[in-house]
Structure 1
């Protein structure tokens, strides 16, 4: 649907881009832009306030690691199908806008409901009647309605849809094309326009109401978080009894479909799981006992790990090497990584704490070879593949079980 047919007016200024992604140089927006450009959208504009990331993208360089994204980014930039900008006026150049901004919790662990509306307010002067605004960030229930009311107060005659991202970091360039896309809108017209847009990537579209889709995304992330907490609690139970939980888990899951999805233990971290569980807790008036319990278990795991180490080692005389600072294997993303919480606890208790990560550049970190040489005890905090075959005679605390030495601590 053209803007001319929507408004009854010509809109020649909006013909220069197929889509503008607000927050387009981040870990969600950039893979989406690359995917759209690779699927035939002739002009994709990424609007972002991070000037450093914008410069990298315009030079055809990924500002972060994402498997399979580097080559199509270079091609899209070289062919003029994708560009990045810090100019808010760019949002006036396209019929389709996708909003991808962080939706954090505040210092009191309350959801920040204003993140998406603020992003639109920053560029409100450049919004035009007839545009389709698709919210892609994970949001607290009601933020879509809040955004609709904001745009109405601003006098903008636009369509709004909520189309949440569902990708796992590191798998975006396959999952954007393979996973079903949720499309939610208040009106059939907005829903039809958003569905047509996302059919550029996938034919698997699920139509919902906005509030249903908002809860669907929060339920999905919180479900994963609770599963990880359950596995971590089971691990603590086995560990406190001197038993190897991984042996028990393998016995449970072997050719037994009702337990096949039981995860192993490990740090449940990153920018989504805890945050979205907190959002769901706030939505229920903090009457979410299961969610709060999961937070206590997962966030308390670094402290439990150190308390177990204190039983085995005199930490005040021990140099501890922390292997892996990213929040997940193979990633350079350190957002909400529990490795940093582990480091803070060890800094208060150990003689020295040495941290390393093959993907994360930080002047405070030490090369792996140096950590292996100097540390008295090693803790695998992130299960990077590089740590699977460690050659060391030092004690290794491996709650992930990637070294094959068991998961006792």
Structure 2
């Protein structure tokens, strides 16, 4: 795609489309904190209002202070007006490829969203695709823009952060950048060099797979740990005790994670995208999905063998998809809840961080009411829990073993 003339008369160095979410907002804050003029465009009006008030719409360690700092300095603005896109030199689009209820990716989601913004693109802009993309979507976007006669450059620079650690990892992790030509690669690299010292260059197709491989590899590692947990637990043995022993001063086993719910908005979804990319011949990925998604039912089945669940009130501690998070997207704690609602007398749920679920109960009420507790998300505050009833703790958060 031919590059248009560079235009320097932009109001913003960067405009983040979808900048009110878990990926876009930390990135926008990070750019602004490094001195760039940053605009956020997001369709979520409440999120925009919250940001402009100097507050975060979700938990992200270290981001609140930085947000207030860049707002006070006048380096960050947010709006629901899409015309903001025309005012940015670099347009970072944080819209990924979703997976439908049949586990099929929608490769048209990103091009469709960009089509709605096409009237606001200007020559001289760099369009940076940031979220996970199904392989080939970058090229599809390039074709779409060319067919529409929109003369802007395109790069794919996948995010690599873990929720809760964005404000550290954006500045410390190497940044992958990809584009179709050396000048665009250099331009994308220069943008992200404002955040991190190390820039890794790939082709768009390589970068698309690199992102999927990264998340899938994590998902497979969690599945291995969960499968090992089931093997040990079925024999009445403590997997976490075994894991700790085999990893002690032994680097080749140091990355074996604890057992527990492997969920959230990325790992499962991206594993299924990679499976679709291989015409559903990704046996290892599907096996990992069966192990991880099957863990809630396994735990309930083990508990049923020991307790009369039908007569018991069960308390689930932690409904976020991981510890120290308020994000419930694809959380397996909710899958656990659905299973228990059919098998137990009553299910009570609590979480110190989740605010979007009105059905949650205070921790004190759950502790006073439940006959059995299950740790769903390993929030650190549960470590000192003085539980008056048995606790099923696959994470071994309490340090009393993981056998169920």
What TM-score, normalized to structure 2?
A: 0.97
Task: Specify the alignment match of 2:102 in structure 1.
Answer: 108
User: Cα distance, 1:7 vs. partner?
Assistant: 4.0
Task: Specify the alignment match of 2:45 in structure 1.
Answer: 51
Aligned pair partner of 1:144 in 138, 141, 153: 138
Task: Specify the alignment match of 1:366 in structure 2.
Answer: 361
Gaps of 5+ in 1: 1-5
Task: Specify the alignment match of 2:11 in structure 1.
Answer: 16
Aligned in 2, Cα 1:112/1:276: closer, same or farther, shift over 3 Å?
same
Alignment of 1:377 with 2:375, yes or no, is no
Alignment of 1:278 with 2:258, yes or no, is no
Alignment of 1:216 with 2:210, yes or no, is yes
Task: Specify the alignment match of 1:330 in structure 2.
Answer: 324
User: Cα distance, 1:25 vs. partner?
Assistant: 0.8
Alignment of 1:394 with 2:360, yes or no, is no
Task: Specify the alignment match of 1:39 in structure 2.
Answer: 34
Task: Specify the alignment match of 2:401 in structure 1.
Answer: 406
Aligned pair partner of 1:165 in 156, 159, 163: 159
Task: Specify the alignment match of 2:314 in structure 1.
Answer: 320
Alignment of 1:98 with 2:86, yes or no, is no
Task: Specify the alignment match of 1:28 in structure 2.
Answer: 23
User: Cα distance, 1:289 vs. partner?
Assistant: 0.4
What TM-score, normalized to structure 1?
A: 0.96
**CA distance in 2: counterparts of 1:81 and 1:104, whole angstroms:** 32
Aligned residues: 401
1:298-339 superposed Cα distances (whole Å, 9 cap, x missing partner): 000000000001001111101000000000110000000000
Aligned in 2, Cα 1:187/1:8: closer, same or farther, shift over 3 Å?
closer
Secondary structure, aligned partner of 1:339: helix
**CA distance in 2: counterparts of 1:102 and 1:349, whole angstroms:** 37
User: Cα distance, 1:161 vs. partner?
Assistant: 0.5
User: Cα distance, 1:252 vs. partner?
Assistant: 1.0
**CA distance in 2: counterparts of 1:66 and 1:103, whole angstroms:** 23
Task: Specify the alignment match of 1:197 in structure 2.
Answer: 191
User: Cα distance, 1:104 vs. partner?
Assistant: 1.3
Aligned in 2, Cα 1:264/1:8: closer, same or farther, shift over 3 Å?
closer
Secondary structure, aligned partner of 2:384: coil
**CA distance in 2: counterparts of 1:7 and 1:259, whole angstroms:** 51
Q: Which 4+ residue blocks in structure 1 deviate beyond 6 angstroms?
A: none
Alignment of 1:234 with 2:228, yes or no, is yes
**CA distance in 1: counterparts of 2:210 and 2:275, whole angstroms:** 14
Task: Specify the alignment match of 1:69 in structure 2.
Answer: 63
Aligned pair partner of 1:225 in 198, 219, 229: 219
**CA distance in 2: counterparts of 1:60 and 1:76, whole angstroms:** 9
Aligned in 2, Cα 1:235/1:395: closer, same or farther, shift over 3 Å?
same
Task: Specify the alignment match of 1:3 in structure 2.
Answer: none
